[in-house]
Amino acid sequence: MSLIKNILVIAEFDDQGIKPSAYETIHAARLLADSFNGQVHVFCFGFGNPDKAKQLFNYGADRVQVLNNPLYSTVSLDLGLMVIEPQIIKDKPYAVIFPATTHGKEFAASLSAKFNVGLATDCVAVQAGGDNQIIVRRPVYAGKALSNLTLNGPGPHILSLRQNTFRGPGPDFSRVGDIELLGINVSNDQQVLKIREVVKETGSQLDITEARVVVSGGLGMQQPENFKLLEDLAQVLQGAVGASRPVVDNGWRKYSNQVGQTGRTIQPDLYIACGISGAVQHLAGMSSAKCIVAINKDANAPIFSVADYGIVGDALTIVPSLTQEFRRVLSS
């Protein structure tokens, strides 16, 4: 008979609410915890309305602890570890799961070193194996192959999960609970890094790692002003706008929009590549999308090798037509 093994999920929240990646992470943790006859504990930190964390129970959490402190309105590595590390020592979870966000990957790597335990990053599948094992699948060789890893031993096993991969069935409103509010005292000399100012991007653009639809543009868009065509299409589809590395290098779009090996790795339901040739570095960041549509003048462009649907033609004339047709269909 297997011993009870709890799973700890680390989540973030701000004045906008809980980060969407938290719900997917809790769903994956729930599947593991049920196999191990354990519970899902969520440690949520940030600064905002802590009552919003109550909805984490609806998605599978058994226990939710919230650290609500102005210090965490902007998260830094040293401040994050200052609260996460003691939580792991106290709860002794079998696994600690992070979303594979910028912060999540940073925390996961640091905790792996601190506890001298293994780390599985950017996982796209997680399941319980025999003898209390955790079996994960993660991409290797720039996404060209998938590798299965088996995690053994007492733990804590540290995992980060790729976003838009572990979607659950939705909220179960019969699951409820009371959040536990935690306090913390941090003196100035404990802060290695002090953030003086945060300048947020303007606009309401979705994070491309969280969007279910991403419309990306390459140099085939010819000039930065033409990305307005992609923004219009993304707005109709309630998606986000991405870009290839050459576009970002030219200053046409921000780095946060870059898709590829040196940018963001995404897995949306729909990826529309407009004027992107499909260099191997770009394919590494989007080839796991559930459906790929490629628009390019060159019928021999590599992007067509991974596309589910291809349109040979000028994106500057095809995209407006697509936008018009989607708007008509979705509004009817």
- Alpha-carbon gap, residue 144 to 218, rounded angstroms: 22
Full domain range(s) for residue 301: 213-331
Show which of 190, 223, 245 is a domain's final residue.
190
Asked whether residue 159 is assigned to any structural domain, the reply reads yes
Asked whether residue 195 is assigned to any structural domain, the reply reads no
Give yes or no for a contact between 272 and 233, defined as CB atoms under 8 angstroms apart.
Answer: yes
State yes or no: cis peptide before 320, omega within 30 of 0: no
What confidence tens digit (pLDDT) does each residue in 71-128 have?
777 777 888 888 889 889 988 999 999 999 888 999 999 999 999 998 999 999 999 9
DSSP annotation of 131: G
What confidence tens digit (pLDDT) does each residue in 124-163 have?
999 998 888 899 999 888 777 889 999 988 889 999 999 8
pTM of the entire structure? 0.80
Asked whether residue 1 is assigned to any structural domain, the reply reads no
Are 120 and 231 contained in the same domain?
Answer: no
Q: Flag whether pLDDT at 295 surpasses 50.
A: yes
CA dihedral 86, 91, 93, 98 (to 10 degrees): -50
Query: 153: which residues sit within 8 A by CB, 6+ positions away?
Result: 117
- Alpha-carbon gap, residue 196 to 205, rounded angstroms: 25
Are 228 and 178 contained in the same domain?
Answer: no
Give yes or no for a contact between 42 and 9, defined as CB atoms under 8 angstroms apart.
Answer: yes
Give yes or no for a contact between 39 and 62, defined as CB atoms under 8 angstroms apart.
Answer: yes
Q: Flag whether pLDDT at 201 surpasses 70.
A: no
DSSP annotation of 100: S
Asked whether residue 103 is assigned to any structural domain, the reply reads yes
Are 92 and 224 contained in the same domain?
Answer: no
Are 156 and 32 contained in the same domain?
Answer: yes
- Alpha-carbon gap, residue 293 to 54, rounded angstroms: 38
